[in-house]
Amino acid sequence: MRTLQSRKGSTSNHRFPSRFPQPCAARSSAPSFFRTVEDGSIDAGDCGRVCSYAWFIFSVQKDGSCLEPSAKTVGFHGLDGPADVDRLLRDRIFMAQACLGCRDGAAFAHPFSMAFQPIVDRRSGRIFAHEALVRGIGGEGAGSVLSQVSDEMRYAFDQQCRVKAIELAAALFDQTEKPYLSINFMPRAVYEPRACIRLTLATAQRTGFPLDRIIFEFTENEQLDTAHVLGILKTYREIGFKTAIDDFGAGYAGLNLLSRFQPDIVKLDMELIRNIDTDRVRQIMVGKMVEMLHALKVEVVCEGVETFAEYRALADLDVDYIQGYAIARPSFEALSLVTLPLAA
């Protein structure tokens, strides 16, 4: 860890993460700043009072080119304490640094693969999409992989997940049926949407997988910067991807995010689905959610459906898609057959 010095020469509590290049001497008379320079290092200027927010300036084209940040001064506008600076250094400056090292996923060295679970159109019984689910290299559960993902590795891990999912889908999917590929992404692993999508675009082009058959879904299971998430979702829509909120009803963003952006798909949290066939409260809640989402022109996926009785109850509530063990279990590096005859 490298300690920054305050204007008066005292030691500040603000430190660079150990993976940062060591700051070089200040090259500006600005009273308080950090900036990225052309070689990707961080130029630490005279860091006086604790600061709260950093705006990074990147030259990023619509196709995601020009990934590297340009050599422009980045101002901090004074805030509260060391915790704020630590968070900002990790979530803003380090994102820029990490992207230079993880854009090809090389920084995450633990091998893993994917299983696929189908999402089925409730009305036709046809497979609408396959969700890519991370697994160990021998088919071990997701926890065996996710436990290896540190904060410093999440950027590279997110990139590798996208690559692995697209490569396997390109090899496995029947392109005459044209199912969608649903990929989970980490909003905190995306510092600039058009920059961080470059490897995804390149992988799709290399494998011949159509961009318009990709869904990006995220889980609202941690407190996120809503403005940042909105920027990602809007950018992905502009590029041509479908977007989805996973586990809706269990997280932080919920209705607030939905009021500001309507994704293509909302996946209801499985806790709302469990025993819905016998639980009147859940029936009322899910029914009203489906009614609201349809009014907003958002399609509804119910995941975690485990019994035929739950499926029938959800069909009565007019949900669009079904996912869960009642339909098919995930298959490791393969596609599952739908085991329940859904079509009337």
Q: Where are the domains of the chain?
A: 2-102, 112-332
Rounded distance between C-alpha atoms, residue 47 and residue 214, angstroms: 44
Q: Which long-range contacts (CB under 8 A, 24 or more apart) does 274-282 make?
A: 274/304, 274/306, 274/310, 275/310, 276/310, 276/313, 276/314, 277/307, 277/309, 277/310, 277/312, 277/313, 278/309
Q: What pLDDT is stored for residue 224 in this prediction? A: 74
Which amino acid belongs to residue 150? S
Rounded distance between C-alpha atoms, residue 275 and residue 290, angstroms: 17
CATH topology of domain 112-332: TIM Barrel (3.20.20)
pLDDT tens-digit profile, the chain (344 residues): 333 333 333 333 333 333 333 333 333 333 333 333 333 343 444 333 333 333 333 334 445 444 444 333 333 444 445 555 555 555 555 455 555 545 555 567 789 999 999 999 999 999 999 999 999 999 999 999 999 888 888 888 999 999 999 999 999 998 888 999 999 998 888 888 988 899 999 999 999 999 999 999 998 666 678 888 999 999 999 999 999 999 887 765 578 889 999 999 999 999 999 999 999 999 999 999 999 999 999 999 999 999 999 999 999 999 999 999 999 999 999 999 887 655 44
Which H or E element spans position 76?
strand 73-78
Between helix 198-207 and helix 154-172 the angle, nearest 10°, is 20
3-state secondary structure (DSSP) of residue 219: strand
69 strand-pairing partners: 58
Q: What pLDDT is stored for residue 83 in this prediction? A: 58
CB–CB of 181/169 below 8 Å? Answer: yes
CB–CB of 195/64 below 8 Å? Answer: yes
Q: What pLDDT is stored for residue 58 in this prediction? A: 38
Rounded distance between C-alpha atoms, residue 228 and residue 92, angstroms: 11
CB–CB of 194/62 below 8 Å? Answer: yes
CB–CB of 141/115 below 8 Å? Answer: no
Q: What pLDDT is stored for residue 18 in this prediction? A: 39
Model's pTM, two decimal places?
Answer: 0.71
Lookup: tokens for 259: 């009021």
Using a 10 angstrom Cβ sphere, with 0-12 exposed, 13-18 middle and 19 or more buried, the burial of residue 178 is: exposed
Sign of CA dihedral 276, 279, 282, 283: positive
User: Residue 192 has what DSSP assignment?
Assistant: S
3-state secondary structure (DSSP) of residue 313: helix
Using a 10 angstrom Cβ sphere, with 0-12 exposed, 13-18 middle and 19 or more buried, the burial of residue 171 is: exposed
- Polymer length of the chain: 344
Q: DSSP per residue over 224-285, as a string?
A: --HHHHHHHHHHHHHHT-EEEEEEETSSSSHHHHHHH---SEEEE-HHHHTTTTT-HHHHHH
